[in-house]
Amino acid sequence: MKTIITFIIVFGILVLVHEFGHFFFAKRAGILVREFAIGMGPKIFSHQGKDGTAYTLRILPVGGYVRMAGAEEDEVELKPGMMLSLMVNEENKVIKINTSKKVQLPNSIPIELLEYDLEKELYIKGYENGDESEEVTYTVDHDANIIEPNGVEVRIAPVDVQFQSAKLSQRMLTNFAGPMNNFILAVILFTVSVFMSGGVTVTNTNRIGDVQPNSVAEKAGLKKDDQILSIDGKKVDDWQGMITLIQENPEKPLAFEVKSGNETKELTVTPEKDANVGKIGVSVPRKDSLTDKLLGGVTETINNSTMIFKTLGSLFTSFNLNKLGGPVMMFQMSSEASKAGIETVIWLMAMLSVNLGIVNLLPIPALDGGKLVLNVLEGVRGKPLSQEKEMIITLVGVGLVMLLMILVTWNDIQRFFF
């Protein structure tokens, strides 16, 4: 239960901060945000604010989204022949359209839909009360609501409040704002972590920090501030390189070339197996001056970003799914963090926030980075791609991302549970 709560809190905060970035800058650009959702799947709670946004909480705590007017995924499909119920105001303008069988509107007008336009001309035409002898046309209010089949009430999306109606610069900032918020959150959390832990980690070194009592490292003869020059003949230049070699070789005796003070010596270290990866019980070295601590959030964010870029780069030279992780790995890491305490949870959240920011900026269609590429292409061409081409590109991107997520999730299950 503790692990589940930690996972939900960590994942929920990361998603909330990311999506709030998109939400905030969309609002500033005059784009209608029809729904701000935390979680996926069926809704648990929904409330429409005065700003026209439906704030929803959904049952699966594994994501979230911001539905902006005019986006492909924002379509509310109405078809001729559908039965609707309309609520009108004193001026006989439609202020609410009900398409849901789950919701009953008191004093509403039943209508069989013939045609409609909720973007430009704002009207609904149909047969009222089943009378097919006469067509009736209603004007729709600019700020009217529509109740979707699942019961969620959102604003209609006239063209002037749609995403594509905003300036290109505003749309680019809206797309970038999610990852940007993740980087800001990472800096804040890493700063808190630095002060709690007593210093800033140094990853561009082959020197080790503290050695845990009774650990594999201590038993093998490793000491604080020792430099690991090579492991099994492979040169070690930085912390990430050392950790990667250790993690990839659980329960395998490794020959360490170690510089301890002015002495260079050979040690045999056998990493113990933990969640199918090797570990020896050493921590990263730290800088602990006040200046280093105050700048620690930025430093740690840069260090972790560098490590992530190196890992992503290594995928092109030696692809290995073990270098990637999905929700299962996040759950496993949340489990370990919850056992270690609040300091570890904060550090984990900061690290995952950097990961989320960078991954979302990858130039893959359907991710924020892919959308930014399309924005740049629009700026160069002087006009956007056609909706059909953009939809095809997005669908291809969604397919690739989903395929990768399935492979990564299955690999995580195999690693951690079998």
The 10 Å Cβ neighbour count of residue 395 is 13
Is residue 9, in this structure, part of any structural domain at all? no
pLDDT value for 55: 93
214 and 263 housed in the same domain: yes
Is residue 54, in this structure, part of any structural domain at all? no
| Bridge partners of residue 67, in order along the sequence | 35
pTM score, whole prediction: 0.72
Q: What are phi and psi of 91, to 5 degrees?
A: -90, 10
294 and 416 housed in the same domain: yes
Residue 11 parent element (H or E): helix 2-28
343 and 368 housed in the same domain: yes
- Per residue in 75-98, pLDDT tens? 667 888 899 999 999 999 999 999
pLDDT value for 331: 56
118 and 81 housed in the same domain: yes
pLDDT value for 145: 92
Domain residues for the domain of 337 are 172-200+287-418
Tokens found for residue 308: 């992530």
Question: How many domains are contained in the chain?
Answer: 3
pLDDT value for 310: 78
212 and 297 housed in the same domain: no
d(CA 161, CA 125): 23
The CATH number linked to 239 is 2.30.42.10
Active site residues: 19
pLDDT value for 319: 64
pLDDT value for 323: 58
Is residue 354, in this structure, part of any structural domain at all? yes
347 and 391 housed in the same domain: yes
Q: In terms of Cα–Cα distance, which of 140, 149, 189 is closest to 43?
A: 149
381 and 300 housed in the same domain: yes
Q: How far, in Å, are 155, 286, 385 from residue 377 at the CA level?
A: 30, 43, 8
* Separation of first and last alpha carbons in the chain: 22
277 and 404 housed in the same domain: no
Domain's final residue, options 258, 284, 310 = 284
Q: Decide: residue 290, CB within 10 A, 0-12 exposed, 13-18 middle, 19+ buried.
A: exposed
Domain's final residue, options 262, 284, 306 = 284
Q: How far, in Å, are 169, 303, 325, 359 from residue 368 at the CA level?
A: 15, 23, 19, 9
Q: Name residues whose C-beta falls within 8 Å of residue 160's C-beta, 6 or more positions apart in sequence.
A: none
pLDDT value for 336: 63
pLDDT value for 211: 93
Angle at 53 between CA 50 and CA 54, to 5 degrees: 110
Is residue 248, in this structure, part of any structural domain at all? yes
* pLDDT < 70 positions in the chain: 1, 72-76, 314-315, 319-340, 398, 401, 404-405, 407-418
pLDDT value for 175: 95
375 and 311 housed in the same domain: yes
pLDDT value for 286: 85
Is residue 190, in this structure, part of any structural domain at all? yes
Is residue 279, in this structure, part of any structural domain at all? yes
pLDDT value for 188: 94
296 and 384 housed in the same domain: yes
Is residue 17, in this structure, part of any structural domain at all? no
Amino acid found at 233: G
The β-bridge relationship of strands 94-98 and 135-147 is parallel
d(CA 418, CA 410): 11
Q: In terms of Cα–Cα distance, which of 201, 213, 258 is closest to 231?
A: 258
Domain's final residue, options 246, 267, 284 = 284
pLDDT value for 186: 93
189 and 300 housed in the same domain: yes
d(CA 245, CA 311): 13
Tokens found for residue 12: 């929920």
d(CA 378, CA 385): 7
Is residue 38, in this structure, part of any structural domain at all? no
228 and 212 housed in the same domain: yes
d(CA 25, CA 178): 9
